């Protein structure tokens, strides 16, 4: 969802990629449904491993934002280059147990939280702030709960 949101809300200034430590081989159908329903592009969305972005010839990453709910630094690999890193904890809506309504609610909550964070991200003063300050701003975005 974050990839679609940033690619849609970034106004062409960013190229986002989403990947995980344990991809399941498909994007969750509810994520696709809700993104499309809210007008976000999902063409080309696919399940990816982060190893695609640590291998030789991988796209250069300026920012690496982890989204897992927990201690991301313990599990995340080292990415080549000098990417500004931050962690935006968010519960994985696909891991929701319970009814279909509970799962849908979890996906909607995650979508709303990600949209707010991505909107803040796209409004940062990238041209006038050094990488360390940007890192601090990214961490602040991740600390927001509402």
pLDDT of 3-20, one tens digit each? 999 999 999 999 999 998
Q: Pick left, alpha or beta for residue 85 (phi over 0 → left; psi -120 to 50 → alpha; otherwise beta).
A: beta
Which of 5-14, 79-88, 102-111 is predicted with the least confidence, judged by mean pLDDT?
A: 79-88
CA dist 55 and 46 (Å) reads 18
Here the CATH number for the domain that contains residue 106 is: 3.40.50.2300
Range of the domain at 90: 2-143
pLDDT of 36-80, one tens digit each? 999 999 999 999 998 898 888 899 999 999 887 765 455 677 777
Section 85-108 average pLDDT: 93
Total domains in the fold of the chain: 1
CA atoms within 13 A on the CB side of 47: 10
Section 121-137 average pLDDT: 93
């Amino acid at each position: 969802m974050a990839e679609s949101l940033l690619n849609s809300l970034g106004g062409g200034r960013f190229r986002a990629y989403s990947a995980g430590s344990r991809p399941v081989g498909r994007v969750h159908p509810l994520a696709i449904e809700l993104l499309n329903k809210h007008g976000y592009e999902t063409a080309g969305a696919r399940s990816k491993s982060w190893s695609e972005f640590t291998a030789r010839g991988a796209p250069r990453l300026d920012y690496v934002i982890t989204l897992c709910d927990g201690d991301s630094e313990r599990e995340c690999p080292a990415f080549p280059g000098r990417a500004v890193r931050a962690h935006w904890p968010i519960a994985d809506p696909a891991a929701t147990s319970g009814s279909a309504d509970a799962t849908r609610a979890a996906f909607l909550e995650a979508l709303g939280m990600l949209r707010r964070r991505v909107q803040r991200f796209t409004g940062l003063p990238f041209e006038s702030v050094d990488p360390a300050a940007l890192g601090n701003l990214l961490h602040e975005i991740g600390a927001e709960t509402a």
